[in-house]
Structure 1
Amino acid sequence: MSIDELLRHGEQRLAAAGVDSPAADAALLLAHACGMDGRSLSRARLMGDPVPAEAAASFDALLARRARRVPVQHITGEAHFRTLTLPVGPGVFVPRPETELLVDPVLAHLASVRPSGGARVLDLCTGTGALGLAVAAEAAGTSAVGIEADPTAAGWARRSADAVAGDLARAGSDFAVVEADATDPEAVRAVVDAHLTGRADVVVANPPYVVADGTTTAPEVVDHDPARALWGGGDDGTRVPRLVIAAAAPVLPTGGLLVLEHADTQGAALREAFLASGFAEATTRADYTGRDRFTLAVRQPHTQGK
């Protein structure tokens, strides 16, 4: 079978299994089976290159796993996040494309307050380390720290840092992972004192925020993402995000920025939580689909941290 035929077959098989993005996933899996990246697969497809029998057989096996709703990132062992490729697998939340949007306001803020570099960035509930690593790779001279309470997820974050060590070195940045409770203000303060000289210019977070009301049923999520990384707690899923906001506030100076991801129904409640914790001008922004996805705000002068 040609690349076109294999891709059509893969798309049909995954669509029949209820996969949301069958064409994209089939392409990722075929590239993986062929030992290529997406660009190389597209070139081979254009040139009409044949697919070796062993690669076609491997592709069939990968399709079978994806049809059982194993996340494509668990099958390939990697997730692409902005300019980085991160290792992922069981025990860590797979970073989503919409989370990439949180990095842009962080970079804009750092360009304003740290134009010569040397920023200090804290990534709470870091998981794979995606947010902190992306900022460190794109903002030269950044010292970033990811806090993660779960030992398994923290291990994945360390593997991520090793995997992108070259990107960090080229930027003159560094990233450390600390196992601690991102909802505990004292624990967060201790980490910042020890690793960021007592203050962060920016805190960024993608905390657990999913509402445990039975509406989230996708097997890729409920069967494979760690429960600890999903459920936000409380009737509306905002218990953990509220605690993260309260823990972040004391380690930010006047004008320091907090950027927090959340569900599309939580913007109003979390803007109130921002204001209650001493932030000003809380603004909620949308994701690629137009749904509210994250809120950002700066610290007010009269509630300056340490």
Structure 2
Amino acid sequence: MDRSIAALRRAASTTLAAAGVPSPAADARILLCFATRMEPSELELAALHGTQLPDADVELFEQLVRRRAERIPLQHLTGRAAFRYLELAVGPGVFIPRPETETVVQVGLDFLSQAELSTPRCTDLCSGSGAIAAALASELPAAQVWAVELSDAAISYTRQNCEPHGVQVLHTDATQLPAELEGGMDLVISNPPYIPPGAVPREVEVHLHDPQMALYGLGEDGLQIPRAITAQALRLLRPGGLFVMEHAEVQQRSAAEMLLQAGFTAVRGHEDLTQRARATSGRKPE
């Protein structure tokens, strides 16, 4: 049997492509790095040298490939997910952070940069893995950041990813926060559940493995939970503070209307890196 990295990667890519995995070659490389405990640059160098892998590494890699072909999320297999400059712990029971959410964080960071605050106060509602809160805290070391998550299954990941960055984690309903937090936040960001009940996500990994609690926003339009989050954001913010909420592309208009009806001003939409409507922001009136 050819146990070279090149041969194993080719075979894995073929298997994953046949299973409909969207990025078979990239996933094969990531799983090889995980199975061999090599950095990507080490793996490429070893491949150039025709390195043959030990049986144990081959067995682990092939097992991972089989599970990925069953459409187990890549991040569940490795236990890690990249988000901005961080590597986060993830697994079953927590929503896997997406690259498009990185642009939502950037909207908040740009606002805080322009505000030139010495100690910005930020809250991440429906935090899940804690990706948004951890990113804010790691990129703004002077900030005070709170992460709010209700799910019993997700909260351990929230803590694991956020607490090393000094984030205060609250295991509670995002609409039932301590009164002392109200009126003092400079920035509130949320990626709440927003999918309408009848809309099943196209990605197999999403509708089979992401927790439904993190996907479906309730109500006919999927915006029942986002409406409650929007009202809470208005209570949390200080006058002039910013609320940024992620939503589906088709919800751009309804999200803007929702923020305006709640009392926000300067409401505007934001696109992700693929030029799709991804978030809406608004300022609390001065």
| TM-score, structure 2 normalization | 0.93
Contact 1:12 1:22 in 2 (8 A): yes
Q: CA 1:42 to 1:296, structure 2 compared with 1: closer, same or farther past 3 Å?
A: farther
3-state SS, counterpart of residue 282 of structure 1: strand
3-state SS, counterpart of residue 123 of structure 1: strand
Q: CA 1:275 to 1:69, structure 2 compared with 1: closer, same or farther past 3 Å?
A: same
Matches within 5 A, 1:1-306: 1-116=3-118, 118-162=119-163, 165=164, 168=165, 174-182=166-174, 184=175, 187-190=176-179, 192=181, 199-301=184-286
CA–CA separation in structure 2 for the residues paired with 1:39 and 1:98: 26
CA–CA separation in structure 1 for the residues paired with 2:260 and 2:85: 33
Q: CA 1:134 to 1:253, structure 2 compared with 1: closer, same or farther past 3 Å?
A: same
- Read off the aligned partner of 2:11 and give its amino acid letter: H
CA–CA separation in structure 1 for the residues paired with 2:41 and 2:244: 33
3-state SS, counterpart of residue 27 of structure 1: helix
Contact 1:181 1:188 in 2 (8 A): yes
1:213-256 deviation per Cα after TM superposition (whole angstroms, max 9, x unaligned): 24424331122111111101122211111211111011112220
CA–CA separation in structure 2 for the residues paired with 1:128 and 1:35: 24
Q: CA 1:245 to 1:65, structure 2 compared with 1: closer, same or farther past 3 Å?
A: same
Contact 1:80 1:86 in 2 (8 A): yes
- Displacement, 1:102? 1.2
Among the aligned pairs, what percent are the same residue? 40
Q: Identify unmatched segments of 5+ residues in structure 1.
A: 169-173, 302-306
CA–CA separation in structure 1 for the residues paired with 2:48 and 2:275: 34
3-state SS, counterpart of residue 218 of structure 2: coil
CA–CA separation in structure 1 for the residues paired with 2:239 and 2:48: 55
Contact 2:133 2:145 in 1 (8 A): yes
3-state SS, counterpart of residue 254 of structure 1: strand
RMSD after superposition: 1.7
Contact 2:33 2:40 in 1 (8 A): yes
- Displacement, 1:290? 2.1
- Read off the aligned partner of 1:60 and give its amino acid letter: E
1:7-29 deviation per Cα after TM superposition (whole angstroms, max 9, x unaligned): 22111111111111212111111
- Displacement, 1:39? 3.6
- Displacement, 1:136? 0.4
- Read off the aligned partner of 2:42 and give its amino acid letter: S
1:53-73 deviation per Cα after TM superposition (whole angstroms, max 9, x unaligned): 321221100001111111010
3-state SS, counterpart of residue 134 of structure 1: helix
Aligned length: 284
Tell me which residue corresponds to 1:304.
Answer: none
1:156-175 deviation per Cα after TM superposition (whole angstroms, max 9, x unaligned): 1012135xx2xx3xxxxx20
Contact 2:124 2:146 in 1 (8 A): yes
- Read off the aligned partner of 2:247 and give its amino acid letter: H
3-state SS, counterpart of residue 62 of structure 1: helix
Q: Runs of 4 or more off by more than 4 Å in structure 1? A: none
Tell me which residue corresponds to 1:171.
Answer: none
1:29-57 deviation per Cα after TM superposition (whole angstroms, max 9, x unaligned): 11100112334323433454433332122
CA–CA separation in structure 1 for the residues paired with 2:255 and 2:16: 37
3-state SS, counterpart of residue 195 of structure 2: coil
1:136-166 deviation per Cα after TM superposition (whole angstroms, max 9, x unaligned): 000121111111111221121012135xx2x
3-state SS, counterpart of residue 55 of structure 1: helix
3-state SS, counterpart of residue 205 of structure 2: helix
3-state SS, counterpart of residue 238 of structure 2: coil
Contact 1:33 1:59 in 2 (8 A): yes
| TM-score, structure 1 normalization | 0.87
CA–CA separation in structure 2 for the residues paired with 1:288 and 1:13: 30
3-state SS, counterpart of residue 46 of structure 2: helix
